[in-house]
Homo-oligomer: A and B are copies of this chain.
Amino acid sequence: MFSIGQLSKQTGVKVPTIRYYEQVGLLVSAGRTEGNQRRYDKGGLERLGFIRHARDLGFSIEAITALIDLQQHPDRSCQEATLIAQHQLTDVREKLLRLKALEAELVRIADGCDGEGNSEECYVLASLADHQHCRGEH
């Protein structure tokens, strides 16, 4: 049996975050000692590890709730889980595209200026004021 602090150390999830996960129903309520402190078993450790991993991969709490739900119903098709993962992948790819475009423009802006001179003629500020220079959307 682990205390919440031990669980935290083993998973790398902060103590208040564990309590928060329980509060929003992501983690089933832990058993308690007579003095009302939470105690976890190996199962609890594994569930939190799952959540941690999924959160690290950017899955929303909502998506993780759905995945855990699927785990608890082994009769249900795996297709749903795959759909959630693929949706997440699409999401990540969209963000990647956006970020790449931003990087390009920031390079243009940040490197276009030698850092000398005063801000009246600053290239950074001029670039931000004038959207015209931008290639592509945002």
Task: Please give the residue numbers on chain A whose beta carbons come within 8 Å of chain B beta carbons, in ascending order.
Answer: 46, 49-50, 53-54, 56-58, 67, 70-71, 73-86, 88-89, 92-93, 95-96, 99-100, 102-103, 105-107, 109-110, 113, 115-125, 128-129, 131, 134, 138
Contact = CB atoms under 8 A, between A and B. Distances in A.
A92 B102 contact: yes
- The interface centre, meaning the residue of A103, A106, A120, A129 with most chain B CB atoms within 10 A of its CB, is A106
The count of identical subunits is 2
Contact of A78 (B74, B105, B113): B113
A124 B113 CA distance: 47
B54 A128 contact: yes
B119 A57 contact: no
Contacts of A49: 129, 131
A66 to B, nearest CB: 11
B99 A53 contact: no
B124 A82 contact: yes
Q: Which 4 A-B pairs have the closest CB atoms?
A: A78-B122, A74-B120, A85-B110, A89-B106
Task: Pick the most buried of A56, A71, A78, A83: most chain B CB atoms within 10 A of its CB.
Answer: A78
Contacts of A50: 128-129
Contact of A85 (B76, B82, B86, B124): B124
